[in-house]
Amino acid sequence: MSDTRLTRYSHGAGCACKLGPAELAQVLRSVHGHPATEHPDLLIGLSVADDSGVYALGDGRALVQTVDIFTPVVDEPHDYGRIAAANALSDIYAMGGNPLTALTFLAWPRDELPFQVAGEVLRGGLDVMAQAGCTVVGGHSVDAPEPMFGYSVTGLVDASSAVAISGACSGDILILTKPLGIGIVTTAIKRGFCPPDLASTAIEQMAALNSISGAALIPGNAHAATDVTGFGLLGHLREMCEASGVAATIDSGRVPVLDGVRDLLAQGAWAGGSKRNLESVGDFVEARDVDIRVLADAQTSGGLLVALDPSDVDGYLAAVPGAVTIGEVSEGRGIRVLS
């Protein structure tokens, strides 16, 4: 199994394989307003580009539900499973919720890869689910041309406290809890020229749960939050701005980036999904004399992007190791990137 390079069997890497924001908007346009997407107890659904659906149970609690599946982002099966689990759980944490149960999805090319390798992928996922205190109750598997793996996760949150993407207010401070550059690293891994130390650092970051960042949202009075994944920082910040009716300014010099990522970018480690991200925000972002490719880089299992009142920032930063302030929210429309 140590000789199996899983990324050889996929057309892309991790969340970079997602449909782009513009493509997804075209798909969802055809189902807008469908009766199956509406219910009096549905607090957050398809009408807002949020991380999870939130459905009130009527007793003060609400279900938080999400699903995340992607192709191999790294070569080692156990690490692939760990990362897929952490990525799926992140959507629950981004709403301030606690994960409860999960269902597994596995697509596997039966004639190309041994089932023992698939077992290692599942074991990696279970290890992280156990760490999160989330019970895996079943799942589904299919034969497919390339591997895909992930989970549907259900959690619980106080119905009145769920943190949506749509609550950012003018004057809020923006916080990011993990460095960027994952998509660049995983592209270099797939192409065979990523330094081992950088690959190892990125793998551990992707497998790290956003549980602490999520647990601090509600006590920290977060106005809005989302996890930074396939659409990149700029794409997910755009969703937050549009859902909240605000604008934002980002200080690019304050945005944390994994050491060595810019060298890989200079060598051409730039994913197709990240290119689509950059194109999709072109009419929304003002950036003069700033290379914003890293800000559009498609992340897998990235950190949380949080909007907080200035008075609550110090408390959140103290509670979440590695979190940094990267900008602020203002009135208007669009994202301005400062050098």
67 sits in the region (left: phi over 0; alpha: psi -120 to 50; else beta) called: beta
pLDDT exceeds 60 at position 167: yes
CA distance 298 to 274: 5
pLDDT exceeds 80 at position 4: no
**Cβ-based neighbours of 319, under 8 Å, separated by 6 or more:** 212, 216, 219, 220
Tokens of 292: 């914003």
Q: Do domains 6-158 and 173-338 have the same CATH topology?
A: no
Domain 173-338 has CATH 3.90.650.10: yes
Q: pTM for the whole thing?
A: 0.94
Residue type, 14: G
Local structure of residue 221 (DSSP, 8 states) = T
| Whether residue 15 lies in the annotated active site | yes
Condensed to tens digits (0 to 9), the pLDDT of residues 36-62 reads 989 999 999 887 777 899 999 999 999
What whole-number percentage of the chain has pLDDT above 90? 85
The domain limits of the chain are: 6-158, 173-338
Domain 6-158 has CATH 3.30.1330.10: yes
Condensed to tens digits (0 to 9), the pLDDT of residues 279-292 reads 999 999 999 889 99
CA distance 121 to 131: 16
CA distance 9 to 294: 26
pLDDT exceeds 90 at position 269: yes
Q: What is the dihedral of CA 241, 246, 247, 250, to 10 degrees?
A: -60
| Per-residue pLDDT at 1 | 44
Tokens of 10: 């996929």
Given the residues 15, 17, 134, 194, select the one marked as catalytic: 15
Condensed to tens digits (0 to 9), the pLDDT of residues 184-202 reads 999 999 999 999 999 999 9
